[in-house]
Amino acid sequence: MRNRNEVARCIIEILIPYADCFAWGDFGAAGNPCYDPYNWSSPAEEEEEAYTLAAVQLELKKNGQRHIDLAEKVANNTGNDYVTYPYLRDAVSRILASSTYDELLTQVKFSRMIKNMMKSKGLTTISSIEEVLS
């Protein structure tokens, strides 16, 4: 996602209001068992992430209102008192690099729906999506 306007729109309309729908820890420098943030499948993918990082840094200015709003929500979701700007900037760029606005919006709406259905059924964990949808 190279377009600054699209990056800003994603931060404002998706990441901040749906911050609870992301596994923020998975997008840190350590990655997770399925995702290594420093292992790209192609030079084009590496370039896309670099351009996305630049756009995020321009649209998520340190100590700006977007940064403050998102950092507070991410800190709450991760159980921390705060998150550092470099961590948040990098995590946001990793989330946005591999997606479009529409794809991301669809994913978070689905995530929110599943979370609400789990809550209504009194579930705290699931082993398959069928448990929630049935």
Burial class (CB in 10 A: 0-12, 13-18, 19+), 91: buried
The pLDDT score that the predictor gives to residue 26 is 84
The pLDDT score that the predictor gives to residue 45 is 83
pLDDT averaged over consecutive 10-residue blocks of the chain (134 residues)? 94 97 84 68 85 96 97 96 95 91 96 93 89 85
Residue with tokens 């192609």: 42
The answer to whether residues 3 and 11 touch, using CB atoms and an 8 Å cutoff, is: no
The answer to whether residues 41 and 33 touch, using CB atoms and an 8 Å cutoff, is: no
| Total residue count of the chain as it appears in this document | 134
The pLDDT score that the predictor gives to residue 107 is 95
pTM for the full predicted model: 0.88
